[in-house]
A and B are shown apart, each in its own frame.
Chain A
Amino acid sequence: MDMINLTIDGQAVQVEKGSTILDAAKKLGIEIPTLCHLHMHEIGLNNQPASCRVCVVEVEKRRNLAPACATPVAEGMVVHTNTPKVLEERRTVLELMLSDHPKDCLTCAKAGECDLQKVSEKMGIRKIRVTGTAQSTYPLDTSVSIVRDMNKCIMCRRCETVCNQVQTVGALSGVNRGFEAVVSTSFQVPLAESVCTYCGQCVQVCPVGALTSNTSAVDRLMADLADPDKVVVVNTAPAVRAALGEEFGYPAGTSVTGKMVAALRKIGFDYVFDTDFAADMTIMEEATELAERLQKYIKGEPVALPLMTSCCPAWVNFIETQYPEYLDLPSSAKSPQQMFGSIAKSYFAEKLGVQREQLVVVSIMPCIAKKYEAQREEFSVDENPDIDYSISTHELAGLIKQFNFDLKNLEEDDFDDPLGESTGAGVIFGKTGGVMEAALRTAYEWLTGETLEKVEFDDIRSTSSGIRKAAVQIGDLTINVAVASGLGNARKIMEEIKAGNPDNLHAVEIMACPGGCVNGGGQPYHHGDFSVIRKRQAALCGEDVEKKIRKSHENPFVKKLYADYMGEPGHGKAHELLHTTYAAKEKV
Chain B
Amino acid sequence: MEKITTVEQLKTICIAQQEAEKQERVSILVCGGTGCQSSDSQKIVENLRSELAAQGLEDMVEVVRTGCFGFCEKGPIVKILPDNTFYTQVKPEDAKEIVESHIMNNEKVQRLLYLDPKTNEHISDSKHMDFYKKQQRVALRNCGYIDPENIKDYIRQEGYQALAKCITRLTPEEVIEEVKKSGLRGRGGAGFPTGLKWQFARGYQSEQKYVVCNADEGDPGAFMDRSILEGDPHSIVEAMAICGYAIGASEGRVYIRAEYPLEIQRLEKAIESARECGLLGEHILGTDFSFDIQISFGAGAFVCGEETALIHSMEGNRGEPTTKPPFPAESGYWGKPTNVNNVETFANVPVIFLKGADWFSSIGTEKSKGTKVFALAGKINNVGLIEVPMGTTLREVIFDIGGGIKNGKKFKAAQTGGPSGGCLTEKDLDTPIDFDSLVAKGSMMGSGGLIVMDEDDCMPSVARFYLEFTEEESCGKCTPCRVGTKRLSELLKDITQGKGTMEHIAELKRLSQVIKDTALCGLGQTAPNPVLSTLAAFEDEYIAHVNGHCPAGKCTALLKFYIDPEKCKGCTLCARNCPVNAIEGTVRNPHSILQEKCIKCGTCMDKCKFGAIVKK
Contact B325 A181 (CB under 8 A): no
Q: Which residues of B (462-477) have their CB < 8 Å from a CB of A?
A: 471-477
Closest to A100 in B: B483
Contact B504 A174 (CB under 8 A): no
Q: Is A173 an interface residue (CB 8 A)?
A: yes
Q: Is B137 an interface residue (CB 8 A)?
A: no
Given contacts A52-B478, A96-B479, contact A64 B516 (CB under 8 A): yes
Contact B320 A64 (CB under 8 A): no
Contact A177 B475 (CB under 8 A): yes
List of A residues within 8 angstroms of B517 by Cβ: 56, 64-65, 85, 89
List of B residues within 8 angstroms of A182 by Cβ: 476
Shortest C-beta distance, B506 to chain A (Å), equals: 10
Contact A134 B474 (CB under 8 A): no
Contact A99 B487 (CB under 8 A): yes
Contact with B along A77-93 (1 / 0, CB 8 A): 00000000100110011
Contact B482 A181 (CB under 8 A): yes
Cβ-defined partner of B484 (8 Å) among A52, A72, A96, A174: A96
Contact B520 A178 (CB under 8 A): no
Most B CB within 10 A of own CB, among A52, A97, A133, A177: A177
Q: Is A130 an interface residue (CB 8 A)?
A: yes
Given contacts A133-B490, A178-B471, contact A51 B477 (CB under 8 A): yes
Contact A51 B520 (CB under 8 A): yes
Shortest C-beta distance, A185 to chain B (Å), equals: 14
Shortest C-beta distance, B347 to chain A (Å), equals: 29
Contact B514 A177 (CB under 8 A): no
List of B residues within 8 angstroms of A50 by Cβ: 322-323, 478, 520
Given contacts A64-B516, A64-B525, A65-B517, contact A52 B476 (CB under 8 A): no
Cβ-defined partner of B491 (8 Å) among A97, A132, A176: A132
List of B residues within 8 angstroms of A528 by Cβ: none
Contact B479 A52 (CB under 8 A): yes
Q: CA–CA, A67 to B485, complex, Å?
A: 19
Given contacts A64-B518, A131-B504, A177-B301, contact A70 B471 (CB under 8 A): no
Contact B476 A53 (CB under 8 A): no
Q: Is A180 an interface residue (CB 8 A)?
A: yes
Contact A93 B487 (CB under 8 A): no
Q: Which residues of A (236-286) have their CB < 8 Å from a CB of B?
A: none
List of A residues within 8 angstroms of B516 by Cβ: 64
Q: CA–CA, A182 to B318, complex, Å?
A: 12
Closest to A58 in B: B517
List of A residues within 8 angstroms of B520 by Cβ: 50-51, 53, 67
Chain A residues touching B, majority SS: loop
Q: CA–CA, A67 to B518, complex, Å?
A: 8
Closest to B524 in A: A53
Cβ-defined partner of A179 (8 Å) among B477, B482, B504, B514: B482
Closest to B493 in A: A132
Closest to A88 in B: B514
Q: Is A460 an interface residue (CB 8 A)?
A: no
Q: Is A44 an interface residue (CB 8 A)?
A: no
Q: CA–CA, A99 to B514, complex, Å?
A: 15
Q: CA–CA, A155 to B318, complex, Å?
A: 14
Contact B487 A130 (CB under 8 A): yes
Contact with B along A427-444 (1 / 0, CB 8 A): 000000000000000000
Q: Is A49 an interface residue (CB 8 A)?
A: yes
Shortest C-beta distance, B576 to chain A (Å), equals: 40
Shortest C-beta distance, B354 to chain A (Å), equals: 37
Q: Is A560 an interface residue (CB 8 A)?
A: no
Contact B323 A70 (CB under 8 A): yes
Shortest C-beta distance, A127 to chain B (Å), equals: 13
Q: CA–CA, A36 to B89, complex, Å?
A: 57
List of A residues within 8 angstroms of B519 by Cβ: 53
Q: CA–CA, A213 to B172, complex, Å?
A: 59
List of A residues within 8 angstroms of B491 by Cβ: 131-132
Closest to A133 in B: B490
Cβ-defined partner of A51 (8 Å) among B318, B478, B490, B504: B478
Contact A96 B487 (CB under 8 A): yes
List of B residues within 8 angstroms of A132 by Cβ: 483, 486-487, 490-491
Q: Which residues of B (494-510) have their CB < 8 Å from a CB of A?
A: 503-504, 507, 510
Cβ-defined partner of A96 (8 Å) among B318, B473, B480: B480
List of B residues within 8 angstroms of A85 by Cβ: 517
Q: Is B511 an interface residue (CB 8 A)?
A: yes
Closest to A50 in B: B323
Q: CA–CA, A189 to B303, complex, Å?
A: 26
Q: CA–CA, A149 to B30, complex, Å?
A: 58
Contact A93 B504 (CB under 8 A): no
List of B residues within 8 angstroms of A67 by Cβ: 323, 520
Contact A131 B483 (CB under 8 A): no
Closest to B475 in A: A177
Closest to A182 in B: B476
Closest to B320 in A: A174
Closest to B476 in A: A181
Shortest C-beta distance, A289 to chain B (Å), equals: 42
List of B residues within 8 angstroms of A56 by Cβ: 517-518
Closest to B519 in A: A53
Q: CA–CA, A129 to B487, complex, Å?
A: 11
Most A CB within 10 A of own CB, among B318, B486, B504: B486
Contact B318 A89 (CB under 8 A): no
Contact B479 A178 (CB under 8 A): no
Q: CA–CA, A52 to B478, complex, Å?
A: 6
Q: CA–CA, A71 to B487, complex, Å?
A: 27
Contact A93 B514 (CB under 8 A): yes
Contact A178 B472 (CB under 8 A): yes
Cβ-defined partner of B472 (8 Å) among A96, A131, A177: A177
Q: Is A154 an interface residue (CB 8 A)?
A: yes
Contact A174 B318 (CB under 8 A): yes
List of B residues within 8 angstroms of A131 by Cβ: 487, 490-491, 503-504, 507
Cβ-defined partner of B479 (8 Å) among A72, A93, A177: A93
Q: Which residues of B (392-447) have their CB < 8 Å from a CB of A?
A: none
Contact A134 B479 (CB under 8 A): no
Closest to A173 in B: B318
List of B residues within 8 angstroms of A130 by Cβ: 483, 487, 507, 511
List of B residues within 8 angstroms of A71 by Cβ: 323
Shortest C-beta distance, A136 to chain B (Å), equals: 9
Q: CA–CA, A420 to B207, complex, Å?
A: 62
Q: CA–CA, A52 to B481, complex, Å?
A: 10
Cβ-defined partner of B482 (8 Å) among A49, A64, A173, A178: A178
Q: CA–CA, A65 to B517, complex, Å?
A: 5
Q: CA–CA, A130 to B511, complex, Å?
A: 8
Closest to B485 in A: A178
List of A residues within 8 angstroms of B482 by Cβ: 155, 178-179, 181
Contact with B along A171-207 (1 / 0, CB 8 A): 0011011111110000000000000000000000000
Given contacts A99-B483, A179-B482, contact A174 B518 (CB under 8 A): no
Closest to A98 in B: B483
Q: Which residues of A (148-169) have their CB < 8 Å from a CB of B?
A: 154-155
List the interface of chain B (C-beta within 8 A of A). Answer: 301, 303, 318, 320, 322-323, 325, 471-480, 482-487, 490-491, 503-504, 507, 510-511, 513-514, 516-520, 525
Not counting A89-B517, A155-B476, A177-B475, a sample of 16 additional A-B residue pairs whose C-beta atoms are within 8 angstroms of each other reads A49-B477, A50-B322, A50-B478, A51-B520, A65-B517, A65-B518, A130-B507, A131-B491, A131-B507, A155-B477, A177-B301, A177-B476, A178-B471, A178-B482, A180-B476, A181-B475
Could you pull out 30 A-B pairs where Cβ atoms are within 8 angstroms? Answer: A49-B477, A50-B322, A50-B520, A51-B478, A53-B478, A54-B479, A56-B517, A64-B517, A67-B323, A67-B520, A85-B517, A89-B513, A89-B518, A93-B514, A97-B479, A97-B483, A130-B487, A131-B487, A131-B504, A132-B491, A134-B490, A154-B479, A155-B477, A173-B318, A174-B318, A174-B476, A177-B475, A177-B476, A179-B486, A182-B476
List the interface of chain A (C-beta within 8 A of B). Answer: 49-54, 56, 64-65, 67, 70-72, 85, 88-89, 92-93, 96-97, 99-100, 129-134, 154-155, 173-174, 176-182
Nearest 10 A-B pairs (CB), nearest first? A181-B476, A132-B487, A132-B490, A96-B483, A178-B474, A50-B323, A179-B486, A92-B514, A70-B323, A51-B478
